[in-house]
Amino acid sequence: MRELVEAAHCETVELKPSPIEPSWIIEGHPEARSHLVSKSACKTAWTMIWSCTEGKFNWHYDFDETVVILEGSIMLEVDGAPPARYGAGDVILFRTGAHAKWHVEDRVKKVAFCRLNNPAPLGLVIRAAKKLKSLMPGQPVASRLS
């Protein structure tokens, strides 16, 4: 049976090597590590803890990724915009198709919430099904509010 609750402690979870695509590295020898915390039943959403040492590299996003910086800081250049610094507590959304130039200044650790996008018609069908289900008698009030 699948666990209903999955948890990890960001400071003690064991991160395993998760190499950056070598052709994306611009400068230095950044070493990335990660740990998969959870994955949705439909395999279209997952949560990871990720860390990286100093270096500069490109990153191309094949899915939406929302990150929360836990430790350290980075300079980001996203799709040609001027560089911006982000640090602990900052939340950043990278949409599918985005390109970012990362400059990890010392070390960075983040939690990443990743999700694949459904085609618009499928999303409409899913929302309609949820709405119909929420209108059925016996559903909790919270499900009728979403």
Helix/strand/coil (H/E/C) assignment for every residue in 121-135: HHHHHHHHHHHHHHC
pLDDT tens-digit series, residues 26-77 = 999 999 999 999 998 888 899 999 999 999 999 999 999 999 999 999 999 9
Q: Give pLDDT, residue 19.
A: 97
User: Which of 15-24, 34-43, 81-90 shows the lowest mean pLDDT across its residues?
Assistant: 34-43
User: In DSSP terms, which residues pair with 111 in a beta bridge?
Assistant: 49, 68
Task: Please state, in angstroms and rounded to a whole number, the distance separating the CA atoms of residues 77 and 79.
Answer: 7
Instruction: Enter the tokens of residue 108.
Output: 């960075």
DSSP states along 19-85: PPPGGGEEES---EEEEEEEE-TTSSEEEEEEEEEEEEEEEE-SSEEEEEEEEEEEEEEETTPPPEE
Given a contact cutoff of 8 angstroms between Cβ atoms, the answer to whether 101 and 26 are in contact is yes
Per-position b or e across 12-24, b if 16+ CB within 10 A of its CB:
eeeeeeeebeeee
